[in-house]
Amino acid sequence: MNSTPEPAGQQRTKPPLSEVAKASLARTHTLFRMFVVSVLGAFFVYQLDVNYLWLTGILTAASVALGVVLLVRAARLKESRLVLIGTISGLVVAAIMVLLILVTSVFFDEVREYQACVGRALTDKAQSACRVQLENSLPRQLP
């Protein structure tokens, strides 16, 4: 019943990459790193303070542009799946950041007052009061 294992045949190996292919792959990886840094930078700058909304907008615009370039490059040059999946995920985060930036810019004064209130709040009750103040300052939904 037990059969002796047969030697594994020839292993499939990829042919060595040419210098042009290596340079293209290195460029794609550099673009991907820049894309990840810009997406994360936009997210963290947004968390800092609403007064840096302009910087968040610039970083988000850069991340969207880099994401589109990477997506086209990954599809056209058949780059690794990790780059493709990472680019798609980053573009989703960038799209959410665009929506956040738009909403924050519309309600800029209210958000700035809320952030200042929360910065001064030392207790949960004070933070809750800040949240109530924000809810009261935003427009109500139609009944």
Q: Could you read off the pLDDT of 50-68 as tens digits, one per residue?
A: 888 899 999 999 999 999 9
3-state helix, strand, coil in the chain (%, to 5): 80, 0, 20
Please write the tens of the pLDDT for every residue from 71-94.
888 878 777 788 888 889 999 999
Burial class (CB in 10 A: 0-12, 13-18, 19+), 32: buried
Q: How confident is the model at residue 36 (pLDDT cuts 50, 70, 90)?
A: very high
* Helix/strand number for the chain, H first, E second: 5, 0
What residues does each domain of the chain span?
A: 21-106, 107-143
Per-residue pLDDT at 5 = 59
